Amino acid sequence: MLTSLSSAVTGLDSFQEDMDVIGNDIANVDTTGYKAANVDFADAFSQTLRAPGAATSTTSGSASVQIGTGVGISAINNNWNQGALNNTGITSDLAISGNGFFMVRDTLSNAQYATRDGTFTVDANGYLITDTGERVQGYTDAGLTTLGDIKIDTTGMPATSSPTAVVQSYGIDVTGKVTVNLSDGTSFVRGQILLQNFQDPNELIKEGDNLYSNTAAAGPLAALSAPGSTGLGSVQSGALESSNVDLAGEMSNLIIAQRGFEANSKVITTSDEVLQTLVNMKR
């Protein structure tokens, strides 16, 4: 059997996976906080027909003779460059300008996830949550010492505030501090949204709903930190980060993948014709 047949098959498989990745990127062109993926190809093991020969005082060295056996996918890495920030005017919508991830907690499993999607809302109990119900993590007290679920209510309000005061509005500054404004005109810092960052974010695993797990293996900071510190970006309230998919670039990559797929298909067809010619020689 011709080696070109098996090599071309690996080419078909690899370019099919490449098109799958490109198709997923294009599908997520409007997904908040989405990071595009890049496919890295690597040649497969080569069959050595002749080992290289070392030169001596009387002879010249000889080069090795090898035939490759195809191609494979060595890695599929995310492009972690920041997407554009778009204003929404909604206070609970948050975007990170720079490095870092929001950390959110699943209240059922207690698992924590990283995300760049800051599409948050305040639920009926006052917790700041994702679209799927995970609670945003940070300091939960006015003294900014206790870690937990961010909540927007009157807990910790000043002694000068009216006992009957209720939350009228709230704001979140660039350092993540949550300031609650009460109905009696007083205000206080209720808590602070903290960020996490990773030495190797490509170790993160996509869990769907714009969430990433496997955070421990990705090399996190020793502890959640305030936005604007330890190399972390700032938080922008009333804005969301767009997908960083370059649609024009993805369309170009799609054409390249398509042509690569077609070329490998042609190799299989040509190899089949060669084999057919050999079979017909007996007639």
Which of the four pLDDT bands, split at 50, 70 and 90, describes residue 273? confident
Report how far apart, in Å, the C-alpha atoms of 168 and of each of 19, 160, 183, 186, 231 are: 50, 16, 5, 10, 34
Which of the four pLDDT bands, split at 50, 70 and 90, describes residue 17? very high
Torsion 165-148-140-80 (CA) sign:
negative
Instruction: Name the pTM for this structure.
Output: 0.87
**Amino acid 66: pLDDT:** 74
Which token pair is 22?
């490109």
Which tens digit of pLDDT belongs to each residue from 174-224? Answer: 999 999 999 999 999 999 999 999 999 999 999 999 999 999 999 999 999
**Is pLDDT at 105 greater than 90 in this prediction?**
yes
Which token pair is 136?
């945003």
Chain-centroid distance of CA 226 in Å reads: 21
For the chain, the 3-state helix, strand and coil shares in percent, each to the nearest 5, are: 20, 35, 45
CB atoms within 10 A of CB 142: 18
**Amino acid 1: pLDDT:** 55
Residue type for 87, please? N
Residues in the chain: 283
**Amino acid 166: pLDDT:** 95
In terms of Cβ atoms closer than 10 Å to its own Cβ (0-12, 13-18, 19+), residue 33 is buried
Q: Which residues make beta-bridge pairs with 73? A: 41
Does residue 140 contact residue 149 with C-beta atoms inside 8 Å? Answer: yes
**Amino acid 93: pLDDT:** 98
Which token pair is 225?
């930190």
Which of the four pLDDT bands, split at 50, 70 and 90, describes residue 44? confident
What residue ranges do the domains of the chain occupy? 3-52+63-79+245-280, 85-241
